[in-house]
C-alpha cells in the first residue's frame, strides 16, 4: 500500500522484510548440507513461527480496520446531524418567508 505522500506504509515495509527473511531462511535450509530429516524439521519450525507471526499481524490489521470503521461511523453521524440541523433550519426559514 502506498501513502498519499509517496512513501510506503510501515506495515508494508515490515511485511516485506518478514517475507524476505522467510524466503531467505527457506532457501538457506534447502541449500545447506544437512540430512533431509533435519531440513524438514527446521522448515516446519520456520513455517510454524511464520504462521504465528502472520496470525498476530492479521489480528493487528483487523483491530485497525475495526477502529477505522468506528471512526467512520462517528464522522458519518456527526455530518448527518449537521445536515439534519441545516435542513430543519432551512424549512423553518422557508415557513417564515411563506407566512410573511
pTM higher than 0.75: no
More confident residue, 59 or 30: 59
Per the domain annotation, does 88 fall within a domain? yes
With cut-offs at 50, 70 and 90, classify the pLDDT of residue 3: very low
Q: Given pLDDT bands bounded at 50, 70 and 90, which one contains residue 8?
A: low
Q: Which residues contact 34 (CB under 8 A, 6 or more apart)?
A: 42
Q: What confidence tier does 20 reach under pLDDT thresholds 50, 70, 90? A: confident
Query: Is 24 a domain residue?
Result: yes
Task: Please indicate, yes or no, if residue 1 is contained in any of the structural domains.
Answer: no
Decide if 2 is inside a domain. Answer: no
Domain span including residue 75: 10-98
Q: How far is CA 85 from CA 71, 78, 93, 97, in A?
A: 21, 11, 12, 18
* Cell representation of residue 96: 417564515
d(CA 22, CA 52): 13
Q: Is there a domain that residue 5 lies in? A: no
Instruction: Give the per-residue pLDDT at 59.
Output: 87
Q: Can you tell me the distance from the alpha carbon of 64 to that of 83, in angstroms, rounded to the nearest whole number?
A: 28
**Cα–Cα distance measured from residue 39 to residue 84, given in angstroms and rounded to the nearest whole number:** 66
Cell triple for 3: 501513502
Residue 22, C-beta contacts closer than 8 angstroms, at least 6 positions apart: 46, 50
What's the pLDDT score for residue 5?
A: 54
- How many distinct structural domains can be found in the chain? 1
Q: Average pLDDT, stretch 49-76?
A: 90
Amino acid at each position: 500500500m502506498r501513502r498519499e505522500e509517496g512513501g510506503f506504509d510501515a506495515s508494508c515495509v515490515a511485511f516485506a522484510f518478514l517475507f524476505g527473511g522467510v524466503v531467505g531462511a527457506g532457501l538457506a535450509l534447502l541449500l545447506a548440507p544437512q540430512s533431509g530429516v533435519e531440513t524438514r524439521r527446521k522448515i516446519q519450525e520456520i513455517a510454524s513461527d511464520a504462521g504465528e507471526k502472520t496470525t498476530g499481524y492479521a489480528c493487528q490489521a483487523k483491530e485497525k480496520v475495526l477502529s477505522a470503521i468506528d471512526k467512520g461511523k462517528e464522522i458519518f453521524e456527526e455530518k448527518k446531524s449537521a445536515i439534519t440541523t441545516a435542513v430543519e433550519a432551512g424549512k423553518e426559514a422557508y415557513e417564515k418567508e411563506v407566512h410573511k
